[in-house]
Amino acid sequence: MFRRVAVLGAGTWGTALAIQLAENDNEVTLWSKLPREIEALQKDRKNVPNLPDAVLQDSVILTTDLKEACEGKDLIVFAVASPYVRATAKEAKPFIPEGQIIVNVAKGIEESTTMTLTEVIKDVIPWVETAVLSGPSHAEEVGRDIPTAIVVGSKKHSTATMIQDTFMNEYFRIYTSPDVIGIELGGSLKNVIALAAGIVDGLGLGDNTKAALMTRGLTEISRLGVAMGGKLETFLGLSGMGDLIVTCTSTHSRNHNAGYLIGQGYTMQQAMDEVKQVVEGVYSAKSALQLAHKYDVAMPIVEQVNQVLFEGKTAMEALDDLFTRARAEEINWDDEV
């Protein structure tokens, strides 16, 4: 069964998802606020330079008209970068009917409110039904039909399965879950840890250091996620451990690449300018620390990342502080053996 789907955001992720949706014979409209993005796609059907090998099907409708994009759709996909979700929701609001299903695919936490992005959408457009799609999924590979598995989270099982059916094909496997908050936090917080992993690589340190950073980072994500109502198994799954692995280790990862530059001595702003894309972890780092304080959860890696990004601390000083903290237990001792 084909569906009418709007993808809001014609960056790398939005374009890659539009390709997958069109492969499944959906009627797809791809929207961008930026005329130059739509003009470039109209010219050669490619998202150059970020997706040079992925070709957008001729059937995909391209537009800068938000009303045209949103009206009469079975599903709307929010694929704009996290800092622009609220503004896009406000612009789209007049064209969104009661009960519209919106699936957010961006990863982040709103800095000013510490809301997750589905919460931001609901805050702006209360009458919609929201879901989240997340997992280890670089656009550069999804756009080329590299086998990928991710998870859709929704409070309604029927909504999750509808989104699953709309996106899933032989290259793009979709699982379902009711743990919306867990999926969103996993997808957002791993970006902060990926910055730290990039910093470790930029400093020229080894696999041992990076493995320790990733493992303890997953512990921090899980602690906060469970405190906020997420399920532990979510953080051991695709949107937790899976997304953390791919974002901390891949050359496609803008968060890892920005962290690498910081480890090499760049400032946060210089690193972001060099990457030339939105580095979601920079925007989520402050929010993650605010949530850690709110829920009284220890997140020393997140704390050190914030100090490097915003307080002028050097990467090596942050690493030293992490490794010279007081002794700790990995698992609590209940009884003396």
Choose the weakest-confidence range: 140-149, 171-180, 215-224, 325-334. Answer: 325-334
CATH of the domain at 235: 1.10.1040.10
Shared-domain flag, residues 192 and 90: no
Decide if 304 is inside a domain. Answer: yes
What's residue 52's pLDDT? 83
Query: Does 134 lie in the same domain as 77?
Result: yes
The pLDDT confidence band at residue 49, using thresholds 50, 70 and 90, is confident
| Pair 162, 194 in one domain | no
- CA-based nearest residue to 31, from 56, 65, 1, 82: 65
The structure's pTM equals 0.94
- Please report whether residue 290 resides in a domain: yes
What CATH number should be reported for the domain holding residue 86? 3.40.50.720
Indicate the range of 15-19, 220-224, 271-275, 305-309 predicted with least confidence. 271-275
Residues 257 and 151 grouped into a single domain = no
The count of C-alpha atoms lying within 13 angstroms of the C-alpha of 253, restricted to the half-sphere facing its C-beta, is: 29
Q: Which residues are catalytic?
A: 190
Q: Are residues 91 and 23 located together in one domain of the fold? A: yes
C-alpha pair distances (Å), 85 with each of 60, 268, 289, 311: 23, 22, 21, 27
Token pair listed for 46:
């490619």
66 versus 275: which is more confidently predicted? 66
| pLDDT tens track for 224-261 | 999 999 999 999 999 999 999 999 999 888 999 999 99
The pLDDT mean for the chain works out to 94
In this structure, the answer to whether residues 207 and 151 fall within a common structural domain is no
Which domain covers residue 140, as residue numbers? Answer: 4-178
Predicted confidence band at 335 (pLDDT cuts at 50, 70, 90)? low
- pLDDT score of 44: 87
What pLDDT, on a 0 to 100 scale, did the predictor assign at position 159? 97
In a domain, 230, yes or no: yes
Asked if 165 and 217 sit in the same domain, the reply is no
pLDDT confidence bin for 77, thresholds 50/70/90: very high
Q: In the predicted model, what is the mean pLDDT of residues 194-214? A: 95
Please check whether residues 12 and 139 belong to one and the same domain.
Answer: yes
| Domain membership flag for residue 335 | no
Q: Are 268 and 282 a contacting pair, CB within 8 Å? A: yes
- Single out the residue in 154, 178, 202 at which a domain terminates: 178
Domain assignment present for residue 333? The answer is no
Residue 29 has pLDDT above 90, yes or no: yes
Q: What is the number of other CB atoms lying within 10 angstroms of the CB of residue 290? A: 15
Burial class (CB within 10 angstroms; exposed 0-12, middle 13-18, buried 19+) of 326: exposed
Q: Report if residue 201 sits inside a domain.
A: yes
Taking alpha carbons only, the member of 283, 314, 288 closest to residue 301 is: 288
Residue 151 sits in the same domain as residue 171: yes
Total domains in the chain come to 2
